[in-house]
Amino acid sequence: AATAIAGGVVVAFLPAAAGPQVAVPALFAQSAAATVIRWLAGRASDRRPVAGLLTPAVLLTAAGMALAAFTGTPLAVVTGMAIFGAGFGLAQAASLTTMLQRTRRSRYGQVNAVWNAAYDLGWGAGALGVGVVVATAGHPAAFAVTSAVVLLAVPTALRARR
């Protein structure tokens, strides 16, 4: 859910923070990186458990958000969004696959529903919660706070490796 929170922040606030000339290539970089990494993670998950990928996913997501906080530097925003996209895509693939690998086949539908609910709630909570930070401290601070919030998921990601 931590990476979904960051996703909600990106779609809600990046266009206003960076302007369309930067937001368009940044969001493209994010989605392209997420797509490529999901494909690679999917291939890896066919061969072995992927819970070990959750920690790098969280770290990449947080690093990308931290870099995007430099909203006055277009290269930082675009690069940050590419890194964010890699982490976000990896987190999506690894978290859902880990949940599926740890449950009975007869519960796949329930696992999918729980995963999607956490994703949707995180997405909305990110936009809503960080909106307060944007209003009081601005976009760069909001992206930095989001990066810190994502890092709170590192202990959980580390525990998932067991």
Closest CA to 71 of 145, 140, 129: 140
Q: What is the pLDDT of residue 66?
A: 98
Give the residue extent of every domain in the chain.
2-160
pLDDT in tens, 14-40: 999 999 999 999 999 999 999 999 999
Per-residue pLDDT, 22: 98
DSSP 58-83: HHHHHHHHHHHT-TT-HHHHHHHHHH
Q: How confident is the model at residue 50 (pLDDT cuts 50, 70, 90)?
A: confident
Q: Which residues contact 139 (CB under 8 A, 6 or more apart)?
A: 13, 16, 17, 69, 71
Mean of per-residue pLDDT scores for the chain:
95
Res. 162: pLDDT tops 80 = no
Average pLDDT rounded to a whole number, residues 134-144: 97
* % of the chain with per-residue pLDDT over 90: 90
What does each C-alpha distance from 106 to 48, 56, 103, 109, 112 come to in angstroms?
21, 30, 8, 8, 12
Band (pLDDT 50/70/90 cuts) for residue 150 is very high
Integer CA distances (angstroms), 55 to 16, 27, 52, in order: 30, 23, 7
| Residue 48 backbone phi and psi in degrees, to 5 | -165, 165
Residue 136 has pLDDT above 80, yes or no: yes
pLDDT attached to residue 9: 97
Say which CATH class 2-160 falls into.
Answer: mainly alpha
pTM exceeding the 0.85 threshold for the entire prediction = yes
User: For the segment 64-82, what is each residue's pLDDT rounded down to a tens digit?
Assistant: 999 999 999 999 999 999 9
The string over 74-89, giving b where at least 16 C-beta atoms fall within 10 Å of a residue's C-beta and e elsewhere, is bebbbbbbbbbbbbbb
